[in-house]
Structure 1
């Protein structure tokens, strides 16, 4: 795998973990009822991404397969799963929790 592609995919994996952690905090603060199931989806997506990166590194898959996985991930996860969080936050009286004095 080209070095630059490897760096980009590793950065994507790190960013996804950060993003998911932040999203899970928002869900926890707002009392999102499906937090644990959504957290499991995040874990699974990260594992799948890391497996795709490994597959590229050992030449078991090609970049097109990773591209298709990433497109499916973003389209499916964001439009189906993350939209549920958006609806919850729109209905929740504590949708944007105050952090004043919580630290």
Structure 2
């Protein structure tokens, strides 16, 4: 399980609110994976999380454009790659079922990606936005 901690707070309220919700939705999916819920229930959680991630990515990308973020192309590419990974994951579950090893893979991949993305890429974005907000 992930916990909303100070180290995840970036100081840009609109991003932090969405990240906090993203952590909550991720935990709901992780709970469903651990609880032995049906494949359909788990896919519902994954789809909901994927939809929320897209909404969040769109919000971040609007902020990047608003502040002329210099690394916007790279950040968008990272978002696009993650969306593709989730799409592939859902397709794989549909075709091959939801094994214990697939549940572990989903849990690890989601937690690792979320913590790394917030801690590295979104931190750079937030620092840039905060610096530009100070100067305007």
Task: Report TM bin, short chain.
Answer: 0.7 to 0.9
1:29 pairs with 61, 66, 77, which one?
Answer: 66
Q: How far has the Cα of 1:53 moved from its partner? A: 1.7
Q: How far has the Cα of 1:94 moved from its partner? A: 7.5
Paired residues for 1:1-103 under 5 Å: 2-59=39-96, 62-93=102-133
Q: Output the CA distance in 2 between the equivalents of 1:95 and 1:22.
A: 22
- In structure 2, the gaps of 5 or more residues are 1-37
Q: How far has the Cα of 1:52 moved from its partner? A: 1.4
For the residue of structure 2 that corresponds to 1:65, the secondary structure is helix
**Match of residue 99 from structure 1:** none
Q: How far has the Cα of 1:48 moved from its partner? A: 0.7
Q: Deviations over 1:37-71 (max 9, x none)?
A: 10010000110111112222222661111111101
- In structure 1, the gaps of 5 or more residues are 97-103
Q: Output the CA distance in 1 between the equivalents of 2:127 and 2:85.
A: 27
Q: How far has the Cα of 1:35 moved from its partner? A: 0.6
If each structure's helix is expressed as a fraction of its own residues, which one has the higher value?
2
For the residue of structure 1 that corresponds to 2:63, the secondary structure is helix
In the superposition, the TM-score normalised over structure 1's length comes to 0.84
In the superposition, the TM-score normalised over structure 2's length comes to 0.64
**Structure 1: which 4+ aligned runs deviate by more than 6 Å?**
none
